[in-house]
Structure 1
Amino acid sequence: MAEMEELTSGASGRIIPLFKNIRQRSSYDSLRRFLLFIQSIFFWFLLVLPRNRLSQPSSSSSAASPAKRRRKEEDDTLRRRALAEGFSMVVDETDDGASRCQWTTSLFYGVRRNALFVRSWFPATGELKGIIVILHGLNEHSGRYSDFARQLNSSSFGVYAMDWIGHGGSDGLHGYVPSLDHVVADTGAFLEKIKLENPEIPCFLFGHSTGGAVALKAASNPHIEQLLEGIILTSPALRVKPAHPIVGAVAPFFSMVVPKYQFKGANKKGIPVSRDPAALLAKYSDPLVYTGPIRVRTGHELLRISSHLLRNLNFVTIPFFVLHGTADKVTDPLASQDLFNEAASQFKDIKLYDGFLHDLLFEPEREEVGKDIIDWMEKRLSAGNLENVNSHW
């Protein structure tokens, strides 16, 4: 099999082009050359920074500039929140005009008191089999999963979905994630709230791409694991590497110095994530989907959580179902296979879809993928406390 191009999950390679012209060397022949290279990158970066960042502003302008930036971010958040409120929740109706589901939007305050935008969809009638909490992928938002929520409702599952910080209708600069550990902590706090309100209802956690990495790390906390019947991961970001080793070396430094900086010279076209042209058009014309160049801190956080998870696959004990397309060019399906092989979980399943791309729930066969997820949750619920129930679909 040809080696896959190494890409950043959900960022469509936007972190890579800054360094793509650096030739791969078999070894660094001396520490001196390495340090000179780092120094040249640093000075180049200073040259491309806006001039007003390099100059020393007066005390009055220095005080005004951060306030102006905060106001701009707040205005952007309010605009996105209004768009999120107006996003279609896809409410089906019966023949007599009655709604098939009850839907709401609300705000949840995370561990750092950031307002996070939340959606929920619940069947209008009938007893719930369970609740599933959806974590979207990098750069997208929870509203994109409304069709999947409808499919879950039709099988008697209630649905919650939360926008991360900097995404959808939540607080923060669009596309900026100061720490994925904050997203992990917010996910844990949100799950605790849901279980407190629904103590007798089984709960599952679903994560796509980088959201899958967040779900897996959250479930590594024993307390959070106890709240869940299992997790479902589609195209999880488990093996994410830059195109050149030096990117990983300098990313922590630039992440501290200019965390919100965007690589404006990067490729903005992106990589196909679905074989459905209509789904691609809908995604990249959605104003709540971030399509700008990846921000430095966000890219570094993605590399960091991926590296952490790869080192700890054998410590995974929660029941899980991982799904991946074999033609995915954003995240690595072989990493999902490694998760299945190495995890210590007693109840685990994997399904690889031949020829499918990254966004499995937006492929032409999305209904089939959704049914596979529902079937797995029902299997998990019926299995109860049975152990050693592993299968390879």
Structure 2
Amino acid sequence: MHVNDQPQTANFIAEDNGLNVFYRNWKSSSTPKAIVVIAHGFNSHSGYFQWTAQQLTAQNFEVYAIDFPGRGNSDGERYYIADYDAFVADLDKLVDIAQTAYPTLPTFLLGHSAGGVLSAIYTLSYQQKLNGFICESFAFQVPAPDFAVAVLKGLSHIFPHAHVLKLKNEDFSRNQSVVDFMNNDPLIAHEVQPTKTVEQLALADERLKAEMPTIKLPLLIVHGTQDKATKPSGSQYFYDNASSEDKTIKFYEGHYHDLLNDLDKEIVMNDILDWLNNRSK
């Protein structure tokens, strides 16, 4: 796995607080027919979508991917989410940048894991800006007992910066070279989520549970059956409760958490490309 093997530009969004939020832009191979904006999850950053971007740009999609604050090459306290709405606002700024560059093109959002949760929250307020949403390995109601989440939400007010939730890189992919890369990636080294971050994800889940039926845009929901970092049942819940008339769910037998960096990633990518191409005509 390599994170710098595809032509791209690296840019920053300047926030009002003086912090810089990093994003990548991969150019379409020819005249672009649509935009794909990517939101990463935990133990990740925009660089993990190099191969994905290569597949998309080869079929004339213009690709943008954010590094959320405190992650990847962005400024901010490492792995800390004080307010999920601020992250959603950063995602909206990137969508605006893409749509300003290509005002006539359809726009699709791809969110992975916790990035899928933030992307789903984004659709609650901004679905009129989107032509579709691809939700990969949805981190909805993460696999922690309810009492543990309740305790962490309480601790977030007392010890908001205490690091409490660590995901195993080995659970992301069956491809050992990907796991080795993650284990040696300085941008995710020692990544453990603070209590405040866990609280914000839980609060986002609660909002989604209440408002999910308001989501009506085209949906593609994908999840691996052997995902140990998030629950496939969360993706099924999303599919069952979204009001979209155009919605598709696909489960990949034996696949791990990071479908687009796992073995047989080509199967998943082909399904995504077929779905995008059918909605970009």
TM-score bracket, normalised by the shorter chain, equals: over 0.9
- Paired residue type of 2:151: V
In the TM superposition, residue 317 of structure 1 has moved relative to its aligned partner by 1.0
Rounded Cα–Cα distance in structure 2 between residues aligned with 1:110 and 1:132: 22
Contact 1:168 1:289 in 2 (8 A): yes
Rounded Cα–Cα distance in structure 1 between residues aligned with 2:122 and 2:166: 32
- Paired residue type of 1:350: I
2:171 to 272, 279, 287: 272
1:329 and 1:378, CA in 2 relative to 1: closer, same or farther beyond 3 A? Answer: same
Rounded Cα–Cα distance in structure 2 between residues aligned with 1:197 and 1:260: 38
1:88 and 1:337, CA in 2 relative to 1: closer, same or farther beyond 3 A? Answer: closer
For the residue of structure 2 that corresponds to 1:161, the secondary structure is strand
In the TM superposition, residue 230 of structure 1 has moved relative to its aligned partner by 0.5
Rounded Cα–Cα distance in structure 2 between residues aligned with 1:312 and 1:268: 28
Q: Which moved more, 1:254-263 or 1:144-153?
A: 254-263
- Counterpart for residue 381 of structure 1: 280
1:236 aligns with 2:141: no
- Counterpart for residue 4 of structure 1: none
1:195 to 60, 76, 99: 99
For the residue of structure 2 that corresponds to 1:205, the secondary structure is strand
In the TM superposition, residue 249 of structure 1 has moved relative to its aligned partner by 3.1
- Paired residue type of 1:105: A
Structure 1 segments of 4+ aligned residues over 6 angstroms from their partners = none
1:313 and 1:337, CA in 2 relative to 1: closer, same or farther beyond 3 A? Answer: same
Question: Which structure has the highest strand share of the two?
Answer: 2
- Counterpart for residue 209 of structure 1: 113
- Counterpart for residue 69 of structure 2: 165
Deviation string 1:28-87 (CA, Å, 9 cap, x unpaired) is xxxxxxxxxxxxxxxxxxxxxxxxxxxxxxxxxxxxxxxxxxxxxxxxxxxxxxxxxxx8
Structure 1 residues 93-132: aligned runs within 5 Å? 102-110=7-15, 112-124=17-29, 126-132=30-36
For the residue of structure 1 that corresponds to 2:226, the secondary structure is coil
Rounded Cα–Cα distance in structure 1 between residues aligned with 2:31 and 2:134: 22
Rounded Cα–Cα distance in structure 2 between residues aligned with 1:374 and 1:268: 29
- Counterpart for residue 294 of structure 1: 193
Deviation string 1:149-186 (CA, Å, 9 cap, x unpaired) is 01111111111111001101111122222222211111
Rounded Cα–Cα distance in structure 2 between residues aligned with 1:111 and 1:314: 33
- Counterpart for residue 363 of structure 1: 262
1:272 and 1:110, CA in 2 relative to 1: closer, same or farther beyond 3 A? Answer: same
Deviation string 1:95-133 (CA, Å, 9 cap, x unpaired) is xxxxxxx52101112465531011111134x21111101
Rounded Cα–Cα distance in structure 2 between residues aligned with 1:231 and 1:111: 28
Contact 2:169 2:179 in 1 (8 A): no
1:186 aligns with 2:90: yes
Give ranges in structure 2 of 5+ residues lacking alignment.
Answer: none
In the TM superposition, residue 248 of structure 1 has moved relative to its aligned partner by 3.2
1:269 and 1:151, CA in 2 relative to 1: closer, same or farther beyond 3 A? Answer: closer
In the TM superposition, residue 270 of structure 1 has moved relative to its aligned partner by 5.8
- Paired residue type of 2:13: F
Contact 1:174 1:290 in 2 (8 A): no
Give ranges in structure 1 of 5+ residues lacking alignment.
Answer: 1-86, 92-101, 383-393
- TM-score w.r.t. the length of structure 1 is 0.67
Contact 1:239 1:310 in 2 (8 A): no
1:198 and 1:300, CA in 2 relative to 1: closer, same or farther beyond 3 A? Answer: same
Structure 1 residues 336-351: aligned runs within 5 Å? 336-351=235-250
Structure index of larger Rg: 1
In the TM superposition, residue 229 of structure 1 has moved relative to its aligned partner by 0.8
In the TM superposition, residue 338 of structure 1 has moved relative to its aligned partner by 1.8
Rounded Cα–Cα distance in structure 1 between residues aligned with 2:235 and 2:104: 31
The alignment-based identity, stated in percent, is 32
Matched residues, number: 280
1:284 and 1:179, CA in 2 relative to 1: closer, same or farther beyond 3 A? Answer: farther
